[in-house]
Amino acid sequence: MKLIVNGEVHEVAAATLAELLAALDYDGDWLATAVNSDVVHKARRAEFQLSDGDRIEILSPMQGG
């Protein structure tokens, strides 16, 4: 399945958002996720089924003003 993760195309076998995070070495409770511009909360990542072409954003705390 082809996914766009943080703007980059990835070919992955992951079926769920949680599996995708594990496959791409994203780990930590400070991460926030969205699929196709909608927030997917931490508790829902394990059940959230991904589809071909989905756009995933994985964000973390950063300096800001």
Partner 1 sequence: MFELFGTSLPSRLLLGTAQYPSPAILADAVKASGTSVVTVSLRREMAGGRAGEKFWSLIRSLGMRILPNTAGCHSVKEAVTTAKMAREVFGTSWIKLEVIGNHDTLQPDVFGLVEAARILCEDGFSVFPYTTDDLVVAERLLEAGCRVLMPWCAPIGSALGPVNMTALRSMRGHFPGVPLIVDAGLGRPSHAATVLELGFDAVLLNTAVARAGDPVGMARAFGKAVDAGREAFLSGMLEPRDVAVPSTPTIGRAVFS
Binding site for partner 1 (CB under 8 A): 5-7, 24-26, 28, 30-34, 37-39, 41-42, 57-65
Distances (CA, A) of 47 to 14, 15, 17, 18: 12, 9, 8, 8
Q: How far is the CB of 3 from partner 1 (least distance, A)?
A: 13
CB contact at 8 A, 59 and 32: yes
Q: How far is the CB of 55 from partner 1 (least distance, A)?
A: 12
Q: How many CB atoms lie within 10 A of CB 24?
A: 17
Q: How far is the CB of 9 from partner 1 (least distance, A)?
A: 13
**CB of 49 or CB of 61, closer to partner 1:** 61
